[in-house]
Each structure stands twice: as structure tokens, then as C-alpha cells.
Amino acid sequence: MAGEWNGKKVLVTGGEGFIGSHLTERLVREGAHVRVLALYNPFGRYGWLDPEVHTEVELLPGDVRDAERVAGAVEGRDVVFHLAALIGIPYSYVAPESYVQVNVQGTVNVATAAHRHGVERLVHTSTSETYGTAITAPISEDHPLQPQSPYSASKIGGDMMALSFHHAFELPVAVVRPFNTYGPRQSTRAVIPTILSQLHKGAKEIHLGSTSPTRDFNYVDDTVSGFLAVATSDRAIGEVVNIGSGREISIGDLVQLLIEITGSPAEIVTDESRLRPAGSEVERLLCDNRRAFEWTGWVPEVSLEEGLRRTSDWVREHLDELDTAGYAV
């Protein structure tokens, strides 16, 4: 893999974020010249890619909603990984238009720029939330798409726009559809880091909404390997490729496992105020990852237990930072 990326000029939109920063660092280690389009903010901070820490990365502040800024970021790049998105389901209930602007129009801007500048490959990031509750399991790429939240609807729209540029303009685009990625640096808006931070701070009770939904959790290093594998697969052009572990666990069992890993005496308490709107909760996600293996040779390498232990260690070491801002920066 190193030989495939050595000297490549790569753009990562959203490269300051959780998955994006891990992907950026991996690309740098593989010898790529990486430019990151990071969401501008007036504090001069760019998540995990502060210039003092990542001087080897070309950092470009901007916004995927700004078409000309995106075009300038894409110019001269061989490969574009598009990860910039407005994420999180709860906020999408109250601000759906924001999700359309970022996740749909932003994707149009990236695809338009990639087509204009003739990139070798555009890798667009989807989400398993586009599938909704599993009708059949494990979930293959042919599973129906179900917009059970404005967030998932916006991601479906972005996926379709990206693929339309392949069909209409022969843009070499591939769609990566990660299932629930977790690991170091993830925001405490996500279930694993928020539960771990509570446990490491000595919580005696863990308050949850519904404990029955199941998810397929994939460690971030494996997700990044999936992105790179899809990016170098000609078979994936114009297609969607799932990236997930192929193992499901209920939220209740997951939290119990986290309690055991941390050695905490905490107990789980169901909190009805945390339940999502009826018909919105995705009850089951389980990845069928055979296409990724057959087309790219990708397989997940980090077990759930090992990945949770690594994540637990990281959260314990960064509690002060998590306390300050809700996520480590």
C-alpha cells in the first residue's frame, strides 16, 4: 500500500475530524502529500490537525458549502477523500436544512470540482444510517435505503449526487459506507466515548435510552484501511462498498462490556427522556462486508474487545480535555 500512495497529491475534506485525522495521518505515513480542507473557525483551531502538531499537512481553512473554495482545494490533487459532513442524528431533527446544505450541496461542490480538475479518484463517505433498520441481515449494499432521520436523508442525497457524477460525467467516484466507527479522538456525542468518560469519572449509574438496538462497531484503524482499499480498487468505481466488522452487539450489551473493561461497578438505568421519536430509531445494523473483501481484499483486523480496550485507555488519558470541550482537541 505504501508504494501506491508515495508521492500522491491527496485532499481530505474534513481531515481535522475523527476519522479524517486518522486517515490523514495514515496517508502521510504512506508518503502522500496531503492537503486538508478544514472548517474555518475564528479560534485558529482545527481539531486534530493544529499546524503546530501536523506541520507536514497543508491546512486550508474553508467550507464545503463554498464552491469556489472547494474548487481551489481540489485543484492539483490526484485523489480526493470527501469526509466533511454535518453529522449527528438528534440535531438533524431541529435543523434539517443545515444538513441539506452541508451534506448534499457540499457533496455537489466537491464532485463538481473533482470533475473540473480531472482527479484520478473521488472517494465519497456515506454512512450505514442510510440503510435504516435492517430489513434483511447482514446488510449488503443492495439493501433498500430508508431515510429514518433528516441526517440519513441528507446522506442518501449526497451519495446519490456523488454517484450521479459517475453516471453523467464518468467521474471516477467510489462510495465508502462505514458502519459505526469508534476509537481514539471520537467526540463524546457518540455512545462509546461518552459512556467511557462517565465510567472513568466514577459514575455509579449509566443512563441510556433504548438498549435493544444493535450496531456494528468498527475500529477506526480498520475503517481507514477500508478507505484506502476502496480508493485503489477500480472495481469500486461507480459503486458503494460497505466497511464494517460483520459483528453486531446491542447497546445494552455494549455498555455492559465497557463496564467490565473499565472495572466499574456502575449499573445501567433506562431513561425514557433519551428515547428517539417513534419510527426514527434504527433498531438493527449488521454489515455484510463481503464486497469489500472480494473487491479489495479488505478485512477488519481489530476485535471489538481489543478496540474498546484501546479506546478506554485513550479516554482515560484525555479526561481533562474531554471535560473542557466535550471532545478532545
- The residues annotated as belonging to the active site are 151
Q: What is the DSSP string of 120-179?
A: SEEEEE--GGGG-S-SSSSB-TTSPP---SHHHHHHHHHHHHHHHHHHHH---EEEEEE-
Question: CB 56: neighbour CB atoms within 10 A?
Answer: 11
Cell 480498487 locates to: 233
Altogether, the residues listed in the chain come to a count of 329
What whole-number distance in Å separates Cα of residue 234 and Cα of residue 246?
Answer: 24
Strand partners, 174: 123
3 state DSSP class of 206: strand
Angle at 178 between CA 153 and CA 191, to 5 degrees: 85
Query: Residues 6 or more apart from 91 whose CB is under 8 A from it?
Result: 98, 151
Report DSSP state, residue 275: P
Q: Are 36 and 24 in contact (CB under 8 A)?
A: yes
3 state DSSP class of 258: helix
Amino acid at 326: G
Beta-sheet pairing, 267-270 with 205-208: parallel
Query: Residues 6 or more apart from 55 whose CB is under 8 A from it?
Result: none
Q: Which cell goes with 204? A: 455509579
